[in-house]
């Protein structure tokens, strides 16, 4: 009960408590020692008649007791601070598993709060280190795979004893792997630009409807190759105040994913809705869909639901999408079931000064 009661006091109370008890302990123990010296006859009963002798003896005894008590009390008071300093040195040295205990008799509230915040910081830094290590490993894998492929097929082409069909096939693979490397570099660069940002600049009022129409045209080659039927519902020109360059990446990534995971000769539904306080973009495919495990990780860096990695992509697209949407204070919702397709909904709130479309 005492251990739960004392830590509620602040550092001023605890410090005062120590000083007060040191003084009283010093005076009390000095009195006991002088009484004992009188009883054993070491001091005569009339020693107090000579004040100089009495004061000297009292000062000597008090000094010895004070040094011993102060040493013990000081160690008790400074132990938590020494522990904190040692823990901070370990943390600075890269040991993110270090923790500071926040229990103990007469540990003030300030030190308990510091310990809790320090432990939370160390835990967060440990998580960041794990993410950094995973990022390096995944990036190395994603970068190395196409390079090895390029090197292998370049060696085969160098031999020269190939048919024209084989040469064309190997050249197509080299071009495809080069495109994959370029896409990986682009996504990593985009992610590095926006990952640590909490706001964005370069925002302007632009025609969001027209931007999405252009994105559909840009991805036409991909969805036409799969003979997808597009159902587009963008009936009006919707103007939005945001960063058009960043948002363009969102639509391209979402449409690429929708096409990629749609079945051959399937259907793709794209909608843009305008409300008083927000705009809503929806893209729905009727392809392979996702289970709950895959859906829980789709925003993780380098995560790919297709563990065979037979489909195009590097697992960064949805990470970039989520960050850009967050920068616009928006929300992203993913609904999906295996073999039933996926619906991705982006909700972007309108700015306070955003009005109707500008007069042209």
Residue where one domain finishes, among candidates 176, 194, 212: 194
Most confident region among 30-44, 85-99, 139-153, 248-262 by mean pLDDT: 248-262
Looking at the structure, do residues 118 and 227 belong to the same domain, yes or no?
Answer: no
Task: State yes or no: pLDDT of 14 exceeds 90.
Answer: no
For position 46, what pLDDT does the model report? 61
| DSSP secondary structure, 202-224, as one string | --EEEEHHHHHHHHHHHTHHHHH
190 domain-assigned:
yes
- CA–CA dist 306, 23 (Å, integer): 73
Phi, psi of 308 (to 5 degrees): -75, -15
- CA–CA dist 112, 119 (Å, integer): 11
Residue where one domain finishes, among candidates 104, 124, 144: 124
354 domain-assigned:
no
For position 7, what pLDDT does the model report? 46
Alpha helices in 160-239 (DSSP H): 164-194, 208-218, 220-225
Helix axes 51-92, 109-159, angle to 10 degrees: 20
Domain span including residue 37:
2-124
Looking at the structure, do residues 289 and 345 belong to the same domain, yes or no?
Answer: yes
- The 229-233 sheet, strands edge to edge: 229-233, 267-274, 278-285, 341-349, 331-337
What is the value of pTM for the model shown?
0.53
Q: Which of 297, 282, 290, 193 is nearest to 245 (CA)?
A: 193
Mean pLDDT, the chain, rounded, equals 76
Comparing 230-234, 310-314, 318-322, the range with the smallest average pLDDT is 310-314
The number of folded domains in the chain is 3
Of all residues in the chain, the percent with pLDDT exceeding 90 is 14
Task: State yes or no: pLDDT of 308 exceeds 50.
Answer: no
244 domain-assigned:
yes
355 domain-assigned:
no
216 domain-assigned:
yes
- CA–CA dist 126, 122 (Å, integer): 6
- CA–CA dist 78, 72 (Å, integer): 10
- The CATH code of the domain that includes 237 is 3.30.565.10
Looking at the structure, do residues 171 and 87 belong to the same domain, yes or no?
Answer: no
Q: Are 234 and 213 in contact (CB under 8 A)?
A: yes
Residue where one domain finishes, among candidates 93, 124, 155: 124
225 domain-assigned:
yes
Looking at the structure, do residues 161 and 245 belong to the same domain, yes or no?
Answer: no
Looking at the structure, do residues 7 and 102 belong to the same domain, yes or no?
Answer: yes
Looking at the structure, do residues 270 and 335 belong to the same domain, yes or no?
Answer: yes
Looking at the structure, do residues 90 and 11 belong to the same domain, yes or no?
Answer: yes
DSSP-assigned letter for residue 304: -
Looking at the structure, do residues 139 and 181 belong to the same domain, yes or no?
Answer: yes
199 domain-assigned:
no
Q: What is the mean pLDDT of residues 19-32?
A: 68
Model confidence pLDDT, tens digit, residues 33-81: 766 766 666 666 665 555 565 566 666 666 776 677 666 666 666 677 7
């Amino acid at each position: 009960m005492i251990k739960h009661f004392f830590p509620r006091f602040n550092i001023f109370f605890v410090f005062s408590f120590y000083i007060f008890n040191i003084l009283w302990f010093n005076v009390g123990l000095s009195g006991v020692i002088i009484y004992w010296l009188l009883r054993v006859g070491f001091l005569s009963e009339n020693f107090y008649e000579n004040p100089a002798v009495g004061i000297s003896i009292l000062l000597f005894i008090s000094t010895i007791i004070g040094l011993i008590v102060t040493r013990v009390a000081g160690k008790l008071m400074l132990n938590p601070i020494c522990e904190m300093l040692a823990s901070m040195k370990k943390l600075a040295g890269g040991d993110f598993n270090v923790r500071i205990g926040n229990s103990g008799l007469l540990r003030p509230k300030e030190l308990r709060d510091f310990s809790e915040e320090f432990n939370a910081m160390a835990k967060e830094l440990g998580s960041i280190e794990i993410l950094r290590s995973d990022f390096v490993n995944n990036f190395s894998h994603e970068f190395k795979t196409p390079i090895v492929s390029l090197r292998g097929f370049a060696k085969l082409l160098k031999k020269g004893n190939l048919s024209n069909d084989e040469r064309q096939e190997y050249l197509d693979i080299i071009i495809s792997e080069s495109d994959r490397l370029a896409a990986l570099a682009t996504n990593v660069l985009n992610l590095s630009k926006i990952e640590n940002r909490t706001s964005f600049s370069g925002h302007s009022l632009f025609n969001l409807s027209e931007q999405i129409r252009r994105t559909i045209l840009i991805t036409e080659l991909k969805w036409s190759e799969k003979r997808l039927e597009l159902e587009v519902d963008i009936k009006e020109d919707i103007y939005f105040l945001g960063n058009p360059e960043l948002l363009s990446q969102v639509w391209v990534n979402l449409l690429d994913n929708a096409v990629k995971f749609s079945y051959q000769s399937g259907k793709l539904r794209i909608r843009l809705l305008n409300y008083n306080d927000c705009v809503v973009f929806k893209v729905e495919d009727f392809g392979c869909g996702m289970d709950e495990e895959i859906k829980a990780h789709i925003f993780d860096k380098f995560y790919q639901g297709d563990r065979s990695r037979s489909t195009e992509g590097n697992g960064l697209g949805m990470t970039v999408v989520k960050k850009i949407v967050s920068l616009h204070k928006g929300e992203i919702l993913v609904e999906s079931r295996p073999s039933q397709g996926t619906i991705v909904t982006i909700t972007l709130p309108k700015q306070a000064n955003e009005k109707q479309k500008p007069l042209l």
